[in-house]
Chains A and B, each alone.
Chain A
Amino acid sequence: MNLVVCVKHVPDTESRIRVKGDGTGIVTEGLNFVVNPYDEFAVEEAIRIKERIPGSKVIVVTIGPEDATKSIRTCLAMGADDAVHVVDGDFQRFDGVATAAMLAAVIKDLQFDLIICGKQAVDDDCAQVGPALAEFLGIPDVSVVTKLDVAADAKKITAVRETEAARETVECSLPALVTAQKGLNEPRYPSLPAIMKAKKTAIKTVPAAELGLGPDGAPRVEVLKFAEPPARKAGRVLEGEPRQVVKQVVTLLVEEARVL
C-alpha cells in the first residue's frame, strides 16, 4: 500500500508568539520549529499501516523553507521511507487552498492509495489543506479522524470522525484522504540508530517555482495585517475564608458579569 503524508514545519505549541512592531508578520527568531503535532499523528498512523500491510511505503511531502528539512528528518527517523520537499521561502501564506494546489501538483505524480494529513496546522489554523487536496485529486476525504482501519485487501478504510455531538463511523473506498485528529495514536519517539540513518536518507527537493502550477496555484487571499489579541486584564483575585469567597464570586457572576 502506498501512503503519502503531508507534513508542515511549525513553531511548537509552547511558543510565545509575538507580532512584529509594524504588523507585517510574526517574529520568528527564537521560535522552535517542529513537525506540526497533527501531522505527527498522520506520520505515525501511516507507519503503523505500513507495519501491518507488507510491501507498503510511506512518502512524506512537505512545503516549506530550507529549515523544514529538520521536520522531514524527524518523519524519516520515525519510519517514513522517502520524502519530497517543495522548497518555498514563504514562511506562511495563510492560503490553504493554494497550498493544497501545490501539494496536488506533487502528489498527482506519486503512487498513492491513502493520503494522511494533520487536521490542521497549529500555526495558521486554516484546516483547509486536507479537504482541498482531496478535491484537487478527485478523491473522497474523511476529516478529523480518531480511529482508522484499513481493510485487509487495501481497498477500503473505516474511519471514526468527530463532529460536535457525535462520533461517526465512515466507510470509504480507496484512494482517499483522511485528516488526523489527536487521539488517533501516540506518536513514537525515533530511536537513535533511526535518527542517524534518517540523516543519510536522500530528500528529493523541488523548488516551488518549478511546480508548473496553472491557475490553481494563484494566490486567493491577501494578508493585510497581524495583531496581538486584545490583552486581558487580571481581574479580582480573592483569598480568604472559602465560604465567604465563594459567596462573593457567585454574587459577582450573577450581578456584575451576568453570566450565571
Chain B
Amino acid sequence: MARGILVVCEQREGEIKRATHEALSEASRLAAALGGEVAALLIGDKVKAKAASLAAFGAKKVFVADDARLGGYAVEAYTNVAKKVCDDFRPDFILLPATALGKDLAPRLAARLGAGLASDVIRTEVTDGSLVLTRPIFAGKALLSLKVTSQPQVITLRPKVMALAEPDAALTADVQDVALAGLLDTIRTTITKTEKATTGRPDVSEADIIISGGRGIKAPENFKILEELADLLGAAVGASRAAVDAGWRDHQDQVGQTGKTVTPNLYIACGISGAIQHLAGMLSSKCIVAINKDSEAPIFQVCDYGIVGDLFEILPLFTEEYRTVKSRG
C-alpha cells in the first residue's frame, strides 16, 4: 500500500535545523519499512532556495510556503498551510521535530485534522504493518509505548535521538509551491521582538555536551569555572533546579522534570547530588560524568565516570588537562 509521510520542516533564519534532517531520516526509514513516499513541507520567508537540499535526506517532494508573513512563527498561518498540504498530499503520517515550534504546531494541526498525536517520540517500530511508538513519560522516569489510531497520525520526534542519515547529494526532489491564497489572512499573533541568546553557547536541548551545576556551586559567580570549560568544549551550561530556584541561573538552563530533558553525548554534573527529578531529565545522556564531594551522592549511581572531590579544584584541572590533550592533537 502506498503511504505518504509528510515532514513539517523547521528552519531558523533560512538554515534547516538538524532536528528536521533527523525527522526526514526517520521518515525515510519508515517509508522503507511501510512503503510510500516522503514529502517535506518547508515554511518560511525566502526559504525556497533551501528546498532542494531536503532531497539529500530523502524528501521526494518538497512543498514550499514562502512568504514574508511566514518569516516568524505565526501559529494560525502555519496551521492553515500545513492543513492545506495535508488535504492535497493526504499523508498517513505527519512528522515534526519536537522543538518549540513543532510542539506548538503539532497539537493544533492534529486537532484541525481530527487526528491523534504522539509527542516527543524516541523510538519507532513497525509491528505487523502498524507503527508502535515509544515516548518518555514523567520526564523519563517511565516509558510508554502506544499507537496512534487515527488516520492520519501526527508524531513529534524528540531532537537528537533519531539517527541522522548520510546525506546523498545525488538525490533530487520535485519542488512545488503551496498556493497560499486565503491561508495567511488571519494572523492574530505578531512577533515584535526577537532576542537571541547572548552567551554564544548552545541551548541545553540542542547541545552535544552539557556542563551542569547544582547546589554545590555555592554562588552564581562560581558558574564562571563551568562556563570556561563549556566555551572550550562548545558546550552548553545547564543547572539543577536548586541552582535555578536560588536565582543563580536562568530557568531556561534547568535540566530535569520542571526543566528540560536532555540527551547530549556528554553530561558533566558538577556539585549536583542527583535528586530524582534531576536524574529524570538527563539519564538518557550517552555519557555522564559526575563531580561531587560526597561519595554517597546518588549521582554516582548513574554516572559512567565519577570523581569524588572538590569541584573548585577538579574542574579547573579538567579544563587544563583537556587543553593539554587538545593541543597535542
> Could you tell me which A residues sit within 8 Å of B by CB distance?
11, 13-17, 19, 26, 37-38, 94-98, 100-101, 122-132, 134-136, 140-144, 146, 158, 161-173, 176, 181-183, 215-216, 219-229, 232, 234-239, 242-243, 245-247, 249-254, 257, 259-260
Within 8 A of A (CB), among B102-125: 103-108, 110-112, 114-120
Interface size for B (C-beta < 8 A) is 97
22 A–B contacts, CB within 8 A, in A order: A17-B141, A95-B116, A97-B107, A98-B116, A101-B111, A122-B139, A122-B257, A125-B136, A126-B119, A128-B110, A132-B108, A143-B103, A168-B73, A172-B190, A223-B146, A224-B146, A227-B144, A229-B283, A238-B306, A238-B307, A242-B313, A259-B266
Nearest A residue to B267 by beta-carbon distance?
A259
Q: Is B327 an interface residue (CB 8 A)?
A: no
Q: Which segment of B32-40, B48-56, B85-93, B318-326 sits at the interface?
A: B318-326
Set of chain B residues within 8 Å of A162, measured between Cβ atoms = 100, 252
Q: How far is the CB of B262 from chain A (nearest CB, A)?
A: 12
Set of chain A residues within 8 Å of B141, measured between Cβ atoms = 15-17, 229
Q: Which 7 A-B pairs have the closest CB atoms?
A: A220-B116, A237-B306, A135-B111, A169-B193, A235-B304, A132-B107, A17-B141
Set of chain A residues within 8 Å of B284, measured between Cβ atoms = 229
Within 8 A of A (CB), among B144-199: 144-150, 188-197
Set of chain B residues within 8 Å of A234, measured between Cβ atoms = 300-303
Q: How far is the CB of A242 from chain B (nearest CB, A)?
A: 5
Bound complex: CA of A247 vs CA of B12, how far in Å? 39
Which of A125, A169, A245 interacts with B137 by CB under 8 Å? Answer: A125
Bound complex: CA of A143 vs CA of B1, how far in Å? 38
Q: Is B309 an interface residue (CB 8 A)?
A: yes
Nearest A residue to B275 by beta-carbon distance?
A14
Main secondary structure of the interface of B (DSSP, over half): mixed
Bound complex: CA of A222 vs CA of B144, how far in Å? 11
Bound complex: CA of A162 vs CA of B302, how far in Å? 30
Set of chain B residues within 8 Å of A220, measured between Cβ atoms = 110, 115-117, 148-150
Q: Is B31 an interface residue (CB 8 A)?
A: no
Bound complex: CA of A65 vs CA of B284, how far in Å? 32
Which of B76, B105, B302, B306 interacts with A232 by CB under 8 Å? Answer: B302
- Known interface pairs A100-B107, A127-B103. Does A226 touch B142 (Cβ–Cβ under 8 Å)? yes
Chain B 64-88 interface 0/1 with A at a Cβ cutoff of 8 Å (1 = within): 0000000011011001000000000
Which of B140, B146, B244 interacts with A229 by CB under 8 Å? Answer: B140
Set of chain A residues within 8 Å of B107, measured between Cβ atoms = 96-97, 100, 127-132, 135
- Further contacts, 13 of them, CB under 8 A, given A221-B146, A243-B321: A14-B276, A17-B142, A123-B137, A125-B119, A128-B106, A131-B104, A163-B101, A165-B197, A166-B195, A181-B251, A229-B283, A232-B301, A238-B308
Set of chain A residues within 8 Å of B252, measured between Cβ atoms = 162, 183
Contact across chains for A128 and B117 when beta carbons are under 8 A apart: yes
Set of chain B residues within 8 Å of A252, measured between Cβ atoms = 305
Set of chain B residues within 8 Å of A236, measured between Cβ atoms = 304-306
Q: Is B209 an interface residue (CB 8 A)?
A: yes
Nearest B residue to A95 by beta-carbon distance?
B116
Task: Pick the most buried of A142, A169, A220, A257: most chain B CB atoms within 10 A of its CB.
Answer: A220
Contact across chains for B295 and A247 when beta carbons are under 8 A apart: no
Contact across chains for B283 and A232 when beta carbons are under 8 A apart: yes
- Known interface pairs A163-B101, A220-B117, A236-B304. Does A136 touch B142 (Cβ–Cβ under 8 Å)? no
Q: Is B99 an interface residue (CB 8 A)?
A: yes
Contact across chains for A237 and B196 when beta carbons are under 8 A apart: no
Contact across chains for A229 and B289 when beta carbons are under 8 A apart: no
Contact across chains for B145 and A225 when beta carbons are under 8 A apart: yes
Task: Pick the most buried of A13, A16, A168: most chain B CB atoms within 10 A of its CB.
Answer: A13
Contact across chains for A96 and B117 when beta carbons are under 8 A apart: yes
Chain B 237-275 interface 0/1 with A at a Cβ cutoff of 8 Å (1 = within): 000000010000011101011110000011000000001
Contact across chains for B325 and A254 when beta carbons are under 8 A apart: yes
Bound complex: CA of A130 vs CA of B144, how far in Å? 21
- Known interface pairs A128-B107, A228-B143, A242-B317. Does A253 touch B100 (Cβ–Cβ under 8 Å)? no
Contact across chains for B115 and A97 when beta carbons are under 8 A apart: yes
